[in-house]
Amino acid sequence: MTAASAEATAPTAADLAGRRVRVKVPATSANLGPGFDTLGLALARYDELEVEVVDDGLAIEVEGVGRGEVPLDESHLVVRAIAHTFAHFGLERPPLRLVARNAIPHGRGLGSSGAAIVAGIMAAKGLLEPEIEISPDELLELATELEGHPDNVAPALFGGLTIAWVTPEGPRHKKLMVHRGVSPLVLVPEHEMSTALARSLQPTSVPHEDAVFNVSRSALLVAALIQSPELLLAATEDKLHQRYRAEAMPETDRLIRALRAAGHPAVVSGAGPSILVLASDPSERADAIRLVEESAQTAWQALPLAVDFLGATVQAVDAD
Ligand code: HSE
């Protein structure tokens, strides 16, 4: 993206002084089986962030997930996203105080890095308004520049089910509402999985028939999620990514096979190692949880989560 020419309307340091915003960003599950790097679903579990422009320095406080683990300096992903957004408008990041309250598990395929990026971009949006308005396409483009692919950041920004695609002009998205019968269940293991490792296991090309297989299942999946949940088992089949990554997460692979054999539409959530079950009603979720409790060799946390339909929000907060 080229630097926007917003000098005429950019807020001054005096405008920014004391501005304070509160941001809320949902967890996400990407791919959803066949929709590699394309489909994503926002889930009702949230990272929250408060950002205030202060006189000098950078103070970061982290509560919940990541406390004692994530860096507390310029390299903090939220700070990088704020700086990236300010730089896009030709502005330097102002001195800040951040408080992050995180509930999205890290390294589990639930979009925590996408959520951090979106949180930073939405915080910058809130701080820069009203002088600068950022369009939905610009928000997605800024987020995709940092994340590398749009399938997690699109649902984190806009909520619901999102189809994301990349054009020469930048990434674009279509948001869809999900059928009210769809009851997502996320199963989270104790161990993490690196997205970079998962992506390194992808082949550079795939057989044409596998590509056709995924085209049909992805198209069907959109219909199943918005209109026909009874088709979710057939619609969540995939030949583009899960088989190549299975060796790096054997228990995830084994449990997904067991869940699918029992009729549950289970897929790897994002790059893994969590499992997403797109159940059709709450009782199906209970059956899937029971199956995993009986078959798993390590500890798995079951999170029955609603679909988030709002996406990321930002609101101005009055200074104390
Ligand atoms: N589509 C991405 C992948 C999601 O599977 O690699 C994780 O960022």
Q: Is the Cβ atom of 271 under 6 angstroms away from ligand 1?
A: yes
Q: Is the Cβ atom of 183 under 6 angstroms away from ligand 1?
A: no
Ligand 1 atom at shortest distance from the alpha carbon of 147: 8
Task: Look at ligand 1, atom 1, and give the residue with the nearest C-alpha.
Answer: 37
Using the structure block, give the residue that is written with the tokens 């004692």.
68
Of all helices (H) and strands (E), which one includes residue 171? strand 170-176
Flag whether pLDDT at 269 surpasses 50: yes
The answer on whether 280 is annotated among ligand-binding residues is no
319 — pLDDT class (breaks 50, 70, 90) = low
3-17, 170-184, 221-235 — which is least confidently predicted? Answer: 3-17
Task: Look at ligand 1, atom 6, and give the residue with the nearest C-alpha.
Answer: 271
Q: Could you read off the pLDDT of 163-192 as tens digits, one per residue?
A: 999 999 999 999 999 999 999 999 999 999
pLDDT at 102: 98
Q: Is the Cβ atom of 114 under 6 angstroms away from ligand 1?
A: no
Q: Could you read off the pLDDT of 72-124 as tens digits, one per residue?
A: 999 999 999 999 999 999 999 999 999 999 999 999 999 999 999 999 999 99
pLDDT at 282: 85
Flag whether pLDDT at 47 surpasses 50: yes
Ligand 1 atom at shortest distance from the alpha carbon of 37: 1
pLDDT at 88: 97
Q: Could you read off the pLDDT of 276-295 as tens digits, one per residue?
A: 999 998 899 999 999 999 99
Instruction: Report pTM.
Output: 0.94
The answer on whether 114 is annotated among ligand-binding residues is yes
228 — pLDDT class (breaks 50, 70, 90) = very high
Ligand 1 pocket test, candidate residues 151, 201, 269, most atoms within 8 A of CB: 151
- Strand duo 161-167 + 170-176: pairing: antiparallel
Give the domain 3-173+308-316 fold: Ribosomal Protein S5; domain 2 (3.30.230)
pLDDT at 63: 97
Ligand 1 mean position, distance from CA 181 (Å)? 26
pLDDT at 220: 98
320 — pLDDT class (breaks 50, 70, 90) = low
pLDDT at 281: 85
Mean pLDDT (the chain) is 95
Flag whether pLDDT at 7 surpasses 70: no
Neighbours of 98 (CB within 10 A): 21
Flag whether pLDDT at 67 surpasses 70: yes
Q: Which residues in the chain are classed under CATH 3.30.70.890?
A: 183-304
Q: Which residues in the chain are classed under CATH 3.30.230.10?
A: 3-173+308-316
Question: For residue 117, which phi and psi values (nearest 5 degrees)?
Answer: -65, -45
Ligand 1 mean position, distance from CA 241 (Å)? 9
Q: Is the Cβ atom of 147 under 6 angstroms away from ligand 1?
A: no
Give the domain 183-304 fold: Alpha-Beta Plaits (3.30.70)
pLDDT at 5: 47
Ligand 1 pocket test, candidate residues 152, 202, 242, 249, most atoms within 8 A of CB: 152
- What DSSP line would sit under 29-85, residue for residue? EESTTT-TTTEEEEEEEEEEEEEEE-SSSEEEEEEETTTTTS--STTSHHHHHHHHH
pLDDT at 2: 45
pLDDT at 318: 84
pLDDT at 18: 93
Q: How far is CA 103 from CA 61, 257, 284, 301, in A?
A: 14, 28, 25, 14
The answer on whether 111 is annotated among ligand-binding residues is yes
